[in-house]
């Protein structure tokens, strides 16, 4: 009997345990008849027909308990390698050997073992439903007869299956109670057994669902990694097309790539030495009179003269007599230092890309916008790469905040001299892009 149970446990990956209350032979016959009818009606879909292997049998609880211990704690290979087996001239390592008995008696099941979890179910008269393979379809058909669940595993109707509603069969089913199951060596309760039986499409459907999840995750990661570089590429491509259009329009002495207006409104390069566009932090500028509240006057640098290089006060005539250019003017009408700070504060790199599109006058603002777009795009990619570690993500986040604060402070302070604070590598690339414009 023990060998029969150990063979059953080794060969059946699915075993459901039922408690029964002394069913009569007639009731057992009716239950087995309806079980066979239910599993025979399962569509195979090209798979092996398991109907003849699905059976329910009464167990001897104590013997089955011993068989569970042997399966869990006895290893025939280890017993065959012992010195006592060598002295006897053979490996006495079968399930009824002294080695198996000693392993069962000396075993101390840990709380996490399968035997420790299934041992509380080894009480009273038991019956077992065994399946030779894991088949959710056959398992669901068996549960619809032995332990129906309305809405999930409904019992057959009286019109479709009148024998199921026979009083003898109903009396027998009323004495059967599903207490749990052993599936692939793992112990499941009633809810777990129902979950396995409810897998749509069986194991193939579960594998397909897993593949779709993995594909969706990979596609989302690829899209996220590609979004930053794609935004920069779109901005650069739009800029290139704009330059190609402006090259075809003849404009006399118009060196500004963003405008088709006369030179007095064009963007100029940053001169080496100019006065501050705002109140200086130095003691020299402390004597200046502060502007009225809510007003931020922008000092203008007027470069006027004729073709001989005379200043505006020389009174030169012609179209070059009064060229009025300001390197501190911006397209958005904001103060130069405030607008440069927006490159690092307005949700970079998206805010920086928007600033590149809107700002067309100031080289200083465009440099910081380019630098912000390049730096924080690289930081965004780094965030995605280390997203598996929350600790590293938080460390990098605080580093982002510190870097944005430092670059904002540099952009604000250097606005009065138009000096460019270049981040290693990214600042050089931003300067080259700006020079190419």
Q: How confident is the model at residue 92 (pLDDT cuts 50, 70, 90)?
A: low
Map residue 128 onto helix, strand or coil.
Answer: strand
Map residue 64 onto helix, strand or coil.
Answer: helix
Q: Which CATH architecture has domain 2-199?
A: 2-Layer Sandwich (3.30)
For residues 185 and 195, what is the distance between their CA atoms, to the nearest angstrom?
Answer: 16
**Residue 52 in tokens:** 């003849």
Mean per-residue pLDDT over the chain, rounded: 76
Q: How confident is the model at residue 129 (pLDDT cuts 50, 70, 90)?
A: very high
User: What percentage of the chain reaches a pLDDT higher than 90?
Assistant: 10
Domain ranges of the chain: 2-199, 216-282+299-436
Q: What pLDDT was estimated at residue 82?
A: 61
Cβ proximity of 148 and 155 under 8 Å: yes
Q: Which residues pair with 370 in a beta bridge?
A: none
User: For the sheet containing 186-188, what is the strand order?
Assistant: 55-59, 126-131, 14-20, 176-183, 186-188
Query: Radius of gyration (Cα) for the chain, nearest Å?
Result: 41
Q: How confident is the model at residue 327 (pLDDT cuts 50, 70, 90)?
A: low
Please indicate whether residue 221 or residue 123 has the higher confidence score (pLDDT).
Answer: 123
Q: How many CB atoms lie within 10 A of CB 23?
A: 20
Residue 211 backbone dihedrals phi, psi, to 5 degrees: -65, -40
Q: What pLDDT was estimated at residue 168?
A: 92
Report pLDDT digits (tens) over 33-76: 999 999 888 887 556 778 888 889 999 988 888 888 888 877 77
Q: Find the mean pLDDT for residues 340-368.
A: 85
Q: What pLDDT was estimated at residue 28?
A: 92
**Residue 124 in tokens:** 């009273």
Query: How many Cα neighbours within 13 Å face the side chain of 400?
Result: 21
| Residue pointed to by tokens 């198996």 | 100
Alpha helices in 323-389 (DSSP H): 336-345, 350-358, 363-385
Q: Find the mean pLDDT for residues 83-94.
A: 53
For residues 15 and 77, what is the distance between their CA atoms, to the nearest angstrom?
Answer: 26
Identify which of 310, 344, 298, 337 has the alpha carbon closest to the alpha carbon of residue 415.
337
**Residue 300 in tokens:** 């203008």
133 pLDDT higher than 70: yes
* Cut 0.75: pTM above it: no
Q: What pLDDT was estimated at residue 321?
A: 37
Q: Which residues pair with 409 in a beta bridge?
A: none
Tell me the torsion sign for CA atoms 27, 35, 174, 114: positive
Contacts 24+ apart (CB under 8 A), 4-9: 5/59, 5/63, 5/64, 5/66, 5/67, 6/67, 6/70, 6/71, 6/95, 8/67, 8/128, 8/130, 9/67, 9/68, 9/71, 9/182
Q: How confident is the model at residue 16 (pLDDT cuts 50, 70, 90)?
A: very high
**Residue 366 in tokens:** 């465009």
Helix axes 350-358, 336-345, angle to 10 degrees: 150
Q: How confident is the model at residue 268 (pLDDT cuts 50, 70, 90)?
A: very low
Alpha helices in 92-166 (DSSP H): 98-106, 114-118, 136-146
For residues 403 and 400, what is the distance between their CA atoms, to the nearest angstrom?
Answer: 5
**Residue 84 in tokens:** 């006592």
**Residue 51 in tokens:** 């109907």
Q: How confident is the model at residue 84 (pLDDT cuts 50, 70, 90)?
A: low
Query: How many Cα neighbours within 13 Å face the side chain of 88?
Result: 14
DSSP annotation string for 219-244? HHHHHHHHHHHHHHHHHHHHHHHHHH
């Amino acid at each position: 009997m023990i060998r029969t149970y150990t063979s059953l446990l080794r060969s059946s990956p699915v075993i459901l345990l039922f408690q029964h209350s002394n069913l009569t032979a007639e009731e057992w016959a009716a239950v087995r008849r309806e079980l066979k009818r239910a599993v025979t009606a399962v569509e195979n879909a090209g798979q092996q027909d398991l109907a003849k292997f699905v059976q329910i049998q009464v167990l001897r609880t104590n013997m089955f308990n011993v068989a569970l211990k042997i399966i869990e704690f006895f290893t025939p290979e280890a017993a065959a390698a012992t010195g006592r087996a060598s002295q006897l001239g053979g490996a006495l390592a079968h399930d009824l050997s002294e080695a198996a008995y000693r392993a069962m008696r000396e075993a101390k099941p840990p709380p996490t073992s399968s035997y420790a979890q299934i041992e509380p179910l080894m009480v009273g008269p038991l019956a077992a439903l065994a399946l030779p393979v894991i088949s959710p379809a056959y398992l669901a058909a068996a549960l619809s007869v032995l332990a129906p669940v309305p809405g999930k595993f409904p019992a057959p109707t009286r019109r479709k299956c009148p024998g199921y509603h026979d009083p003898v069969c109903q009396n027998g089913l009323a004495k059967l109670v599903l207490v749990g199951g052993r599936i692939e060596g793992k112990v499941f309760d009633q809810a777990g057994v129902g979950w396995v039986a409810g897998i749509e499409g069986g194991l193939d459907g579960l594998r397909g669902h897993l593949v779709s999840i993995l594909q969706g995750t990979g596609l989302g990661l690829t899209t996220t990694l590609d979004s930053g570089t794609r935004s920069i590429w779109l901005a650069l491509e739009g800029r290139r097309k704009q330059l190609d259009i402006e090259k075809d329009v003849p404009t006399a002495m118009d060196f500004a790539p963003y405008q088709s207006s006369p030179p007095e409104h064009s963007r100029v390069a940053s001169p080496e030495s100019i006065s501050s566009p705002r109140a200086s932090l130095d003691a020299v500028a402390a004597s200046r009179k502060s502007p009225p509240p809510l007003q931020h006057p922008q000092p203008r640098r007027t470069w006027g003269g004729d073709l001989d290089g005379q200043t505006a006060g020389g009174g030169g005539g012609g179209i070059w007599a009064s060229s009025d250019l300001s390197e501190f003017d911006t397209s958005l009408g904001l103060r130069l230092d405030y607008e440069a700070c927006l490159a690092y504060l307005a949700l970079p790199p998206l805010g920086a890309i928007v600033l590149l599109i809107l700002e067309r006058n100031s080289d200083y603002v465009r440099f910081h916008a380019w630098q912000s777009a390049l730096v924080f795009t690289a930081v965004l990619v780094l965030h995605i790469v280390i997203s598996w570690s929350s600790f590293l993500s938080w460390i990098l986040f605080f580093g982002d905040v510190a870097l944005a604060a430092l670059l904002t402070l540099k952009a604000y302070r250097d606005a009065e001299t138009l000096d460019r604070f270049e981040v290693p590598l990214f600042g050089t690339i931003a300067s080259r892009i700006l020079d190419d414009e």
